[in-house]
Homo-oligomer: A and B are copies of this chain.
């Protein structure tokens, strides 16, 4: 794990919902740093998402303030007031403008966010800021997550090395559309805001926007990329050699974090890559990939390690792609071809299917024979524990 010069973090236990654990995280970016972000497209987006968007538009972000345990979503006008009040509190004590603080929340939807715990904890947060707090930060933002999630890279640019480190949280209500639950990635490179935003968009499309646990896009999804500039190494354009290297490192960190979310998907016992190839375009490739990745029948068969490949075939067939030539479609389960010529591949054996299903990482590959576009979506299986966690969460 590489620290990021110019990025300091602090955590505190404010008792917002959980007892005896950290539930507040403050991230500070050095003055002059830049910030890019993407947010959920859920129409019922949470109050902090609305406020964070407003503040980002004003530029010069210095602080990201996050609480876990309460999503401050579905809370109407009082929710917006609470989100703004937490920013005002922090700005007052930190000596910056309120619009330089972006708020984030994650947890239960529909409960008023109390502001008092923030008032009590902000001094602790401000006095606790250090560059070596990434691991504690990853733990402070967890909800139903069972493990903290952190990824890090060092990349050598022409002027020297810079680091890219990120954390994320998320385990249920995962089907990001524009971003994921919460993810914060930071670099000490010096990057103009538009370039930083382009790098983030590029990385998110290929990471957080290509995973699903349960198809439910959250009200609070947000992914932020900070560039402190503290390394003194500037990256001026994404298509420069240095820009490509840095963009690659950002994408690698995002992809690693996204995969961690799926591995820690609620009740998940398996990681499943649904890879669609030879599609006519991205839209149809995603239709097919998500039809398979969201199918409860496919997901329960994966949980049971049952090579019930007919369920995969049925999901592909119902994906909604018009004019599919089913006789040309081929489907693989790991290295076993299961479908060709409109039905079971002649070479397929139940033993081969079972051998693949025993593994904990499984690839389902679908060749649509219609073009040259490919897309990969990560998902997990559907187990008793998914139902247990979601029938019991909140109670």
Interface residues of A (CB under 8 A from B): 41-45, 71, 73-79, 108-110, 172-173, 175, 177, 214-219, 294-297, 300-301, 303-304, 306, 308-311, 313-319, 321, 324, 326, 339, 341-344, 382-384, 386-388, 390-395
Contacts and interface: CB of A to CB of B under 8 A. Distances in A.
15 contacts: A43-B318, A43-B321, A73-B313, A74-B339, A74-B343, A76-B343, A77-B341, A109-B313, A110-B310, A110-B344, A173-B297, A219-B313, A296-B296, A303-B387, A308-B393
A380 to B, nearest CB: 12
A102 to B, nearest CB: 21
A202 to B, nearest CB: 23
A184 to B, nearest CB: 22
B43 A110 contact: no
Contact of A108 (B300, B310, B342): B310
**Residue of A318, A390, A395 with most partner-chain B CB within 10 A:** A318
A310 B43 contact: no
B310 A74 contact: yes
Q: Is the interface of A mostly helix, strand, loop or mixed?
A: loop
Given A297-B173, A297-B216, A309-B110, A314 B73 contact: yes
Given A44-B317, A109-B313, A304-B391, 18 more contacts: A42-B317, A42-B318, A44-B313, A44-B316, A45-B317, A74-B314, A74-B342, A74-B344, A109-B310, A216-B297, A216-B311, A217-B318, A219-B314, A219-B317, A296-B390, A300-B390, A383-B387, A384-B384
Contacts of A310: 71, 73-74, 108-110, 219
Contacts of A219: 310, 313-314, 317
Nearest to A73: B310
B341 A76 contact: yes
A2 to B, nearest CB: 35
A109 B314 contact: yes
Contacts of A77: 341-343
Nearest to A213: B296
Contact of A214 (B296, B319, B386): B296
Given A109-B311, A109-B314, A43 B324 contact: yes
A61 to B, nearest CB: 25
Contacts of A384: 384, 387-388
Contacts of A306: 391, 394-395
Contacts of A308: 109-110, 393-394
A41 B73 CA distance: 38
A74 B300 CA distance: 19
Given A74-B310, A382-B387, A386-B387, A297 B214 contact: yes
Nearest to A381: B391
A295 B294 CA distance: 10
Contacts of A108: 310
A202 B352 CA distance: 46
